[in-house]
């Protein structure tokens, strides 16, 4: 029989205490949100893999706004400082991945993109969009501290004004390939910053109640979006879909903050998967486009989880490459442990 010595017990207590402090410092609901966002966004781009069931490739708008919300949530929690230094940190987080992918894509996939294209479009519309949002949010934080709801109201009025002024073409969709979504998606990143600044003590988290409200918001959102493709009047007023989409984002956050979801996160294996996939959001978004293929449609539906697995592996390799790229231009030796660190 093995006996636990006092020193071993003390070591275990220290480890548990350190883990608890890390959990308290880190809002794990954001990790869970990013995990779901990565899955939903990827699924929405899988029309080719679903074949005749392509209607299942949905959820892109929800995944986009959830990720913008999560990005905004953490943005105002720390000190921002001078704009150039703050924006430099944003660049250092995103662009090593963009440049690493440009190099890989040129050699492996024969992409021939110049530097201008790589800087502006190399990470897709999402990266360009969020880099613009960072600029606006820095000025909101500096010029309107404590007035985020006022800023949200002003941004909402601007979105509504643009929507009403422009004569949109028949059958147009505000969540498709349009620059208008760059405008209204900003509301969700700002909303994330607002919720991030709220005291958590004032929020009540009830898994089943919040899940029910989340379901109703999702149904209302799809009712407007689908209705706008079939009815001219609804199409003209599809802007109202932003209301249930905001509700979807908020109640998604509340569900991810519930005790039930936290218990899943605290599971050694489930928690590792959530942190691993959620931490690869950017890389998953960048690599997936060149990997989608109908070559495996003969084994449908197994091609779907298999493609997810391939994307996760390639995304992880891209993150390793981006860390190598980043470390190459810094003083000091390579930290290979940091390069291959999975979570």
Which has the minimum average pLDDT: 73-87, 210-224, 319-333?
Answer: 73-87
The rounded mean pLDDT for the chain is: 89
104 and 161 in a single domain? The answer is: yes
By residue range, what is the domain housing residue 109?
A: 59-198
105 and 188 in a single domain? The answer is: yes
pLDDT at 145: 83
Distance CA 209, CA 150 (A): 29
276 and 287 in a single domain? The answer is: yes
Cα angle value 226/227/230 (rounded, 5°): 100
249 and 127 in a single domain? The answer is: no
- Kindly state whether residue 81 falls inside one of the protein's structural domains: yes
Indicate if the pLDDT at residue 226 is higher than 70. yes
pLDDT at 2: 42
Instruction: Please tell me the number of Cα atoms within 13 Å of 101 on its side-chain side.
Output: 26
From 232, 251, 266, give the residue that closes a domain.
266
pLDDT at 131: 95
229 and 276 in a single domain? The answer is: no
Contact 249, 193 (CB under 8 A): no
- Kindly state whether residue 14 falls inside one of the protein's structural domains: no
pLDDT at 271: 94
Q: Which of 343, 207, 197, 266 is nearest to 20 (CA)?
A: 266
pLDDT at 343: 87
136 and 249 in a single domain? The answer is: no
- Kindly state whether residue 174 falls inside one of the protein's structural domains: yes
Contact 47, 57 (CB under 8 A): yes
From 266, 300, 318, give the residue that closes a domain.
266
Tally of domains within the chain: 3
Distance CA 243, CA 218 (A): 11
- Kindly state whether residue 46 falls inside one of the protein's structural domains: no
304 and 181 in a single domain? The answer is: no
Q: Which of 57, 50, 45 is nearest to 294 (CA)?
A: 50
pLDDT at 1: 41
Indicate if the pLDDT at residue 342 is higher than 70. yes
252 and 272 in a single domain? The answer is: no
220 and 185 in a single domain? The answer is: no
**Concatenated DSSP letters for 55-85?**
GGS--HHHHHHHHHHHHHHHHTSS---SHHH
pLDDT at 122: 87
pLDDT in tens, 13-59: 444 444 444 444 568 899 999 999 999 999 999 999 999 999 999 99
Residue 130's φ and ψ, nearest 5 degrees, are -70, -30
261 and 293 in a single domain? The answer is: no
- Kindly state whether residue 302 falls inside one of the protein's structural domains: yes
The four Cα atoms 3, 8, 10, 15 give a dihedral, to 10 degrees, of -120
pLDDT in tens, 326-337: 999 988 899 999
Indicate if the pLDDT at residue 78 is higher than 90. no
Q: What confidence category does residue 128 fall into, taking pLDDT thresholds of 50, 70 and 90? A: very high
pLDDT at 113: 85
Distance CA 235, CA 228 (A): 4
287 and 257 in a single domain? The answer is: no
Describe the chain by its helix, strand, coil percentages, rounded to 5: 75, 0, 25
pLDDT at 41: 95
- Kindly state whether residue 311 falls inside one of the protein's structural domains: yes
pLDDT in tens, 166-221: 988 888 899 988 899 999 999 999 999 999 988 776 678 889 999 999 999 999 99
Distance CA 310, CA 72 (A): 29
Cα angle value 292/323/99 (rounded, 5°): 60
Which has the minimum average pLDDT: 25-29, 44-48, 261-265, 321-325?
Answer: 25-29
Structure tokens at 336: 């290979």
> Which residue matches tokens 């410092």?
25
63 and 116 in a single domain? The answer is: yes
pLDDT at 14: 46
Report the b/e string of 217-254 with b at 16+ CB within 10 A.
Answer: bbebbbebbeebeeeeebbeebbebbebbbbbbbbbbb
From 198, 217, 252, give the residue that closes a domain.
198
């Amino acid at each position: 029989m093995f006996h636990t010595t006092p020193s071993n017990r003390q070591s275990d207590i220290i480890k548990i205490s350190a883990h608890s402090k890390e959990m308290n410092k880190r809002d794990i609901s954001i990790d869970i949100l990013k995990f779901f966002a990565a899955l939903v966004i990827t699924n929405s781009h899988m029309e080719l893999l679903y074949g005749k069931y392509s209607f299942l490739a949905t959820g892109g708008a929800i995944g986009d706004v959830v990720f913008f919300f999560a990005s905004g949530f953490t943005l105002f929690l720390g000190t921002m400082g001078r704009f150039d230094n703050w924006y430099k940190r944003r660049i250092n987080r995103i662009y090593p991945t963009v440049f690493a992918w440009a190099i890989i894509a040129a050699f492996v996939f024969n992409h021939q993109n110049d530097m201008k294209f790589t800087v502006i479009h190399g990470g897709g519309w999402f990266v360009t969009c969020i880099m613009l949002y960072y600029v606006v949010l820095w000025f909101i934080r500096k010029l309107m501290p404590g007035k985020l709801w006022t800023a949200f109201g002003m941004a909402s009025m601007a979105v509504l004004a643009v929507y009403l002024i422009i004569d949109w073409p028949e059958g147009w969709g505000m969540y498709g390939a349009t620059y208008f979504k760059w405008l209204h998606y900003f509301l969700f990143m700002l909303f994330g910053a607002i919720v991030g600044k709220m005291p958590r003590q004032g929020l009540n988290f009830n898994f089943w109640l919040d899940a029910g409200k989340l379901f109703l918001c999702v149904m209302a959102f799809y009712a407007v979006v689908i209705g706008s493709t079939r009815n001219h009047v609804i199409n003209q007023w599809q802007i109202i879909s932003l209301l249930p989409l905001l509700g979807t984002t908020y109640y998604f956050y509340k569900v991810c903050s519930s005790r039930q979801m936290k218990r899943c996160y605290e599971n050694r294996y489930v928690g590792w998967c959530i942190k691993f996939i959620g931490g690869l959001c950017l890389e998953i978004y960048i690599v997936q486009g060149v990997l989608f293929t109908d070559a495996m449609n003969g084994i449908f539906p197994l091609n779907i989880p298999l493609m997810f697995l391939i994307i996760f592996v390639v995304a992880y390799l891209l993150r390793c490459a981006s860390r190598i790229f980043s470390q190459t231009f810094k003083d000091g030796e390579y930290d290979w442990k940091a390069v291959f660190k999975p979570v």
